[in-house]
């Protein structure tokens, strides 16, 4: 990947496309050749400081959007309250205190738990990629300004 292509990706690609490129072209865990990854990192070091700063700001914004801890607790509290209310509502109004009045909401909570666990795992992988790329951009910016050698 050359400097011009990388600059275009940082400025114009969608967030999901940028994440995909980071994971495919800059991380060695995707079984890319180490020389190709090193070549891509060298392209980062050739970018102008303003492009590096924009990339850092953009990736920090993406990272904030991927942080599900900000809404996870209130969301799960609301879901559990709704499921509990449904159980009480079902039993009170229909006079049916069968196993389904408790088993249904319990199964719903289990399904939600599995879905949220999968979401957290996907989110964790994406956040690691974003953090990795932010660090590369910051090192390149420091190197460009002469403050630190990699």
**pLDDT tens-place string over residues 15-49:** 999 999 888 888 766 556 777 778 888 889 899 99
CB 27 within 8 A of CB 126: no
In order along its 150 residues, the chain shows pLDDT tens digits of 788 999 999 999 999 999 998 888 887 665 567 777 788 888 898 999 999 999 999 999 999 888 887 777 788 788 878 877 776 676 666 666 666 666 777 787 788 888 888 888 888 888 998 999 999 999 999 988 876 554
Positive or negative CA dihedral for 142, 147, 149, 150? negative
């Amino acid at each position: 990947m050359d400097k011009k292509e990388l600059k275009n990706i940082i400025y114009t690609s969608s967030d999901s496309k940028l994440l995909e490129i980071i994971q495919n072209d800059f991380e060695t865990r995707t079984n890319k050749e180490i020389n190709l990854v090193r070549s891509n990192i060298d392209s980062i070091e050739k970018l102008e400081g303003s492009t590096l700063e924009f990339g850092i700001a953009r990736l920090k914004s993406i990272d904030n959007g991927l942080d599900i801890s900000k809404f996870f607790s209130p969301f799960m509290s609301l879901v559990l309250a709704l499921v509990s209310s449904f159980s009480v509502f079902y039993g009170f109004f229909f006079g049916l205190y069968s196993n389904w009045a408790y088993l249904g909401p319990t199964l719903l909570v289990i399904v939600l738990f599995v879905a949220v666990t999968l979401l957290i795992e996907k989110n964790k992988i994406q956040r690691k990629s974003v953090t990795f790329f932010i660090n590369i951009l910051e090192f390149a910016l420091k190197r460009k300004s002469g403050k630190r050698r990699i």
